[in-house]
């Protein structure tokens, strides 16, 4: 049987051997990280070592890292009314971009009437002028913008966003989950107040993430209350195996990030050239703006995402139609809808994303599968849609 090709790395990445070893090693550690005896201190040391590594991979201080059960919890924890920097008034409303992850679009702990949507342009980049107009209203706002989109890979101008937010006494949360491990991220350099990350996107275990909280941010209320773990910011005994694996994955990802970016860029060029060669009317979304090197979201006239995903799967290729965070059903992309893509085209968006184990042969096999599928799934001689992309 031909070996399958996994090209859905933005949904989750394979567990790195280093992370697996770190997880297994903690099974021999009995202590609770909050206990003061020797066993507890040993567990606490593992916890803190991972915190130091995760923080260092983002140019941050260890005390800024709050470990959570994943990025969704980190996002909900971040989206808290009343946040403020020292000397500024508390935020009372939330502004999110139209292309955010569902855990951000849901508003966290803000009431729905207090949540406003900032539009994006046709390339999927947040409209800074519209964002500034929203910020100009009172009272001050918490703004949540992802660093890079999980579907298109488009990288947002976060430093420009931060300038607008700070000028209006707002607070900035950045969902960095899709970008973590793929591009250089410096928490202080972004001028973000809060930043969410997840372990399983970089080869760590599932079920663990983190929220970085700037030192001068005030008003963060824990979503889970009880004990005083994580300096009172997240109650509950820490997931020591998951956190140890997270630290190990973060260290490897940081060490290999530049090499991974170059590797991914070469593969993406090969992929996108091949897609266009097979079907000239293929549309690559966000192709004219900076993108994550490992991500391609494409479609073609007449393509239906659900049929195409199944077709690729039958050919032994795992791809997706965008975010993998729904109930397993192929849904129309809210990201493409926000980018004003025609509904018929938006229903055909296919995401191919790859990682450190992806090879040129994997890309060639995906292209071979696309060649077979395109013959029956794509409308021929339809070049009119290209005028808009």
Which string of DSSP letters, residue by residue, matches 71-103?
Answer: HHHHHHHH--TT-EETTSPPP-EEEEETT--HH
Given this model, what pLDDT does residue 331 score? 65
| Residue linked to tokens 């991914």 | 264
Q: How far apart are CA 389 and CA 379, in angstroms?
A: 17
Given this model, what pLDDT does residue 387 score? 44
Name residues whose C-beta falls within 8 Å of residue 309's C-beta, 6 or more positions apart in sequence. 319, 320, 321, 330, 350
Given 266, 325, 344, 386, which residue is catalytic? 325
Given this model, what pLDDT does residue 384 score? 45
Given this model, what pLDDT does residue 324 score? 53
Contact assessment for residue 204 and residue 248, using Cβ atoms and an 8 Å cutoff: yes
**What pTM was computed for the model?**
0.94
Cα torsion 333, 334, 339, 342: sign? positive
Which string of DSSP letters, residue by residue, matches 262-309?
Answer: HHHHHHHHHHHHHHHHH-TT-EETTTTS-B-TTEEEEE-TT--HHHHH
Name residues whose C-beta falls within 8 Å of residue 137's C-beta, 6 or more positions apart in sequence. none
What CATH number was assigned to the domain covering residues 5-13+257-388? 3.90.1150.10
Is the CATH code 3.40.640.10 the one for domain 17-251? yes
Q: Where are the domains of the chain?
A: 5-13+257-388, 17-251
Q: How far apart are CA 182 and CA 158, in angstroms?
A: 16
- Judge whether 5-13+257-388 and 17-251 match in fold: no
pLDDT tens per residue, range 306-365: 999 999 999 999 999 865 555 455 567 899 999 999 998 999 999 999 999 999 999 999
Given this model, what pLDDT does residue 385 score? 45
Residue 59: count of CB within 10 angstroms of its CB: 13
Composition of the chain by helix, strand, coil, percent to 5: 40, 15, 45
Given this model, what pLDDT does residue 138 score? 87
Phi and psi based region of residue 279 (left: phi greater than 0; alpha: psi -120 to 50; beta: remaining)? beta
Spans of the chain, pLDDT less than 70: 1, 322-331, 380-389
Given this model, what pLDDT does residue 103 score? 95
pLDDT tens per residue, range 30-48: 999 999 999 999 999 999 9
Does the active-site annotation cover 325?
yes
């Amino acid at each position: 049987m031909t070996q399958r090709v996994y090209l859905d790395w933005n949904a989750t990445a394979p567990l790195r051997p280093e992370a697996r070893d770190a997880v297994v090693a903690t099974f021999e550690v009995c202590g609770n990280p909050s206990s003061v005896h020797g066993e507890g201190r040993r567990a606490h040391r593992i916890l803190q070592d991972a915190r130091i590594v995760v923080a260092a991979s983002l140019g941050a201080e260890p005390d800024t890292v709050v470990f959570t059960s994943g990025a969704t919890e980190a996002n909900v924890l971040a989206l808290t009314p009343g946040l403020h920097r020292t000397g500024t008034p508390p935020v009372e409303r939330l502004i999110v971009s139209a292309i955010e992850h569902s855990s951000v679009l849901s508003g966290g702990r803000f009431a729905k009437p207090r949540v406003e949507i900032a539009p994006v342009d046709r390339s999927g980049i947040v409209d800074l002028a519209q964002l500034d107009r929203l910020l100009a209203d009172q009272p001050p706002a918490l703004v949540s913008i992802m660093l890079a989109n999980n579907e298109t890979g488009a990288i947002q101008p976060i430093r420009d966003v931060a300038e607008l937010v700070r000028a209006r006494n707002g607070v900035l949360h950045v969902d960095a989950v899709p970008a973590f491990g793929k591009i250089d991220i410096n928490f202080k350099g972004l001028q973000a107040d809060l930043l969410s990350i997840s372990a399983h996107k970089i080869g760590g275990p599932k079920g663990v993430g983190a929220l970085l909280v700037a030192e001068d941010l005030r008003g963060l209320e824990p979503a889970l209350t009880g004990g005083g773990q994580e300096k009172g910011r997240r109650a509950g005994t820490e997931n020591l195996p998951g956190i140890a694996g997270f630290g190990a994955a973060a260290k490897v990802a940081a060490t290999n990030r530049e090499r991974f970016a170059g590797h991914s860029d070469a593969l993406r060029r090969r992929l996108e050239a091949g897609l266009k060669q097979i079907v000239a009317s293929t549309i690559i979304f966000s192709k004219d703006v900076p993108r994550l090197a490992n991500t391609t979201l494409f479609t073609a006239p007449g393509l239906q995402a659900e049929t195409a995903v199944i077709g690729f799967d039958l050919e032994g290729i795992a791809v997706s139609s965008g975010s993998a965070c729904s109930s397993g059903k192929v849904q129309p992309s809210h990201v493409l809808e926000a980018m004003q893509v025609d509904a018929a085209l938006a229903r055909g968006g296919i995401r191919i994303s790859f990682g450190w184990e992806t090879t040129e042969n994997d890309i060639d096999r995906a292209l071979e599968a696309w060649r077979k599928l395109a013959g029956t799934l794509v409308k021929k001689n339809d070049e009119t849609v290209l005028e808009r992309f």
